[in-house]
Amino acid sequence: MAELSTLARPYARAAFEYARDRGELAQWSQQLALAAAVTRQQAMAAVLTSPSLTAQQQAQTLGEVCGEALDGAARNFITILADNKRLALLPQIAALFEQYKADQEKSVDVEVVSAFALGDTARDKLTAALGRKLEREVKVRTAVDADLLGGVLIRAGDLVIDGSVRGRLNKLAEAMNA
């Protein structure tokens, strides 16, 4: 997986810089997400890896499936990927593009898992506190996991804050066994 990210990085960076310079980050984000979703489909993956099709035919097929959702620049980008046999990297390119976009916009997606559903006021307070701590605009997505027993588990990129009762019990068990 790390190898795919390494291969995808220069393409994602080029797409990001192109979109940023033209003020089209949101548009490119949507186009790359669509193209990535299409390439994840089993039938399209077979087309994109078919040795009987030329790079031009593969790019044209992907462009036709995406339809009018792709503008000329995005179609050119897909053609470049096809010429370099990198169409299969579109999911990784889209993910990296989103990371670059989030860094540019100083935003972060945060997943909050709690034992019980959070109320609106609790979610708003948590969002505000995380925004101050991370110095970014926070987009919170919540989930419920009854196995936590209580408290919350917060994931923001590489940062994980385990404030759950289950996590505390696991730490206590480790300390007692050590």
User: In this structure, what CATH number is given to the domain that contains residue 15?
Assistant: 1.10.520.20
Query: Model confidence over 83-118: pLDDT tens digits?
Result: 998 998 999 999 999 989 888 878 788 888 888 888
Task: State whether 6 and 80 are in the same domain.
Answer: yes
Q: Which of 102, 120, 135 is the last residue of a domain?
A: 102
The conformational region for residue 106 under phi > 0 = left, psi -120 to 50 = alpha, else beta, is: left
Task: State whether 97 and 25 are in the same domain.
Answer: yes
**CB-CB contact of 91 with 39 (8 Å):** yes
Between the ranges 14-18, 63-67, 157-161, where is the mean pLDDT highest? 14-18
Tell me how far CA of residue 118 lies from CA of 80, 127, 145, 155, 161, in angstroms.
Answer: 46, 12, 12, 16, 17
Domain limits for position 97:
2-102
Task: State whether 11 and 98 are in the same domain.
Answer: yes
Task: State whether 94 and 112 are in the same domain.
Answer: no
Q: What pLDDT is attached to residue 2?
A: 56
Classified as helix, coil or strand, 155 is strand
Q: Which of 102, 117, 135 is the last residue of a domain?
A: 102
Task: State whether 112 and 56 are in the same domain.
Answer: no
Q: What pLDDT is attached to residue 165?
A: 79
* Cα within 13 Å of Cα(158), Cβ side: 1
Q: What pLDDT is attached to residue 17?
A: 95
Q: Which of 102, 118, 153 is the last residue of a domain?
A: 102
**CB-CB contact of 15 with 93 (8 Å):** yes
Res. 46: pLDDT tops 90: no
Res. 1: pLDDT tops 80: no
Task: State whether 114 and 68 are in the same domain.
Answer: no
Percent of the chain with pLDDT over 70: 99
Query: Model confidence over 124-152: pLDDT tens digits?
Result: 888 888 888 888 888 888 889 888 778 88
Task: State whether 85 and 19 are in the same domain.
Answer: yes
Instruction: Give the chain's domain count.
Output: 2
- State the pTM of this model: 0.66
